[in-house]
Amino acid sequence: MTDLWSPLKLATFTLPHRLAMAPMTRSRAKPDGTPGDLAAEYYGQRASLGLLISEGTQPSDDGQGYLATPGIYTDAHVAGWRNVADAVHASGGRLFIQLMHVGRRSHPDNTPHHRQPVAPSAIAAGEDMFTMTGMLPVPVPRALETDEVRQTIADFAHAARRAIEAGADGVEIHGANGYLVHQFLAPDANQRTDVYGGSMENRARFALDVARAVADAIGPEKTAIRLSPGVPTGGIAEGETNDDLYRHLAAELGKMNLAYLHILHVRSDAFLEEIRHAFGGPLVLNRPGRPRDQIGADVAAGRADIEALGSMALANPDLVQRLKIGAPLNEPNRAFFYAGGGAEGYTDYPVINAA
């Protein structure tokens, strides 16, 4: 039985325990997408979580969907993220920057170039999104041309290089939650007729090409990917119908010797074990809404190498210490999950003094 508090060698470093911070968008970047000083403070405060997976970060102008999310493709972005990486490292943590291209889950008002969003196919996500003028429906996206798909893959690789230049320990490709990579995987969002659509192999091709391009750019040991089989967000309704694709994808990703596969898990544990087996490398597991008394259960049962926690980590900078001594937890303040700019509900969660 593996103990949650035992160290784990992952890629090129050793983590002090088997918890991690799940990626969480906080919408507090500067207007040009540069993370500010508060971001460095926020991540630095949480460094005892060991592996910190950053908020979704766009690899290009097209990749942005929400207001005030950070980017990692300009010199200013690199400088901002360097402050974050330095703060995390100074407190003994590791930082993977999550590369999030939102695809069709975008509104032109929220992007630097104000263009129509791009996606595998011209099919709307069917949702509303917060903009400076309130909630607006996301428009029908434009289908990427095949050469634009290749350019988008190159954008991921470029962003990955810039993340490493900023001092990140690696990147996590966001292949979950209805964003661009997931849109390519899902038959209801991908109705392409080129090599990126149609068969299961073709729909998995974009994810695999992105993973390969990123691994070639920065090394497979610094490359990770997050998937969410069956998660119905952003207009995707794959349910269990895409299970064979995920089995295939996990097996192909497994051949790349990546740092880890991160699963946002809502399906059966039997399916999770199939995916873990097919991938064969380190598995990070996020079980949404995991109760406190279940923390460590998947590591103990051998279903995961690392358990990633989201909102508990958001609200408790000293979560590891609190769990170890059985202290009460702060409640996350949802009103400030994404609120622009300020420290409130961001860097002002109190820590306990166990001394």
Q: How far is the CB of 250 from ligand FMN (least distance, A)?
A: 17
Q: Does 288 bind ligand FMN (CB under 6 A)?
A: yes
**238 touching ligand FMN, by CB under 6 A:** no
Q: Is 340 a binder of ligand FMN (CB under 6 A)?
A: no
Q: Are 250 and 284 in contact (CB under 8 A)?
A: no
- How far apart, in whole angstroms, are the C-alpha atoms of residue 194 and residue 185? 14
Nearer to ligand FMN, 174 or 192 (CB): 174
CA geometry: angle 250, 253, 258, nearest 5 deg: 125
Residue 322 found at the interface with ligand FMN (CB under 6 A) = no
Euclidean distance between CA atoms 215 and 98, whole angstroms = 14
Query: What number of chain residues touch ligand FMN (CB under 6 A)?
Result: 22
Residue 166 as a binder of ligand FMN (CB under 6 A): the answer is no
* Residue 286 touches ligand FMN, criterion: CB under 6 A: yes
End-to-end Cα, the chain, rounded Å? 31
DSSP state of 258: -
Are 113 and 166 spatial neighbours (Cβ–Cβ below 8 Å)? no
Report the residue from 55, 62, 155, 252 that binds ligand FMN according to the rule CB under 6 A: 55
Residues 217-236 touching ligand FMN, rule: CB under 6 A, are 226
How far is residue 252's CA from residue 246's CA, in Å, rounded to a whole number? 10
Nearer to ligand FMN, 99 or 143 (CB): 99
Q: Is 336 in the site for ligand FMN (CB under 6 A)?
A: no
The whole-angstrom separation of Cα 122 and Cα 198 is: 15
84 lies in the site for ligand FMN, by CB under 6 A:
no
Q: According to CB under 6 A, which residues from 91 to 120 bind ligand FMN? A: 98, 100
Q: Exposed (0-12), middle (13-18) or buried (19+): which is 298, by Cβ within 10 Å?
A: buried
Angstrom distances, CA of residue 198 to CA of 204, 208, 245: 10, 15, 12
Interface with ligand FMN (CB under 6 A), residue from 9, 147, 270, 289: 289
179 tagged catalytic: yes
Which residues of the shown chain bind ligand FMN in the complex (CB under 6 A)?
22-25, 55-56, 98, 100, 174, 176-177, 226, 264, 286, 288-290, 309-312, 337
**Which of the residues are catalytic?**
179
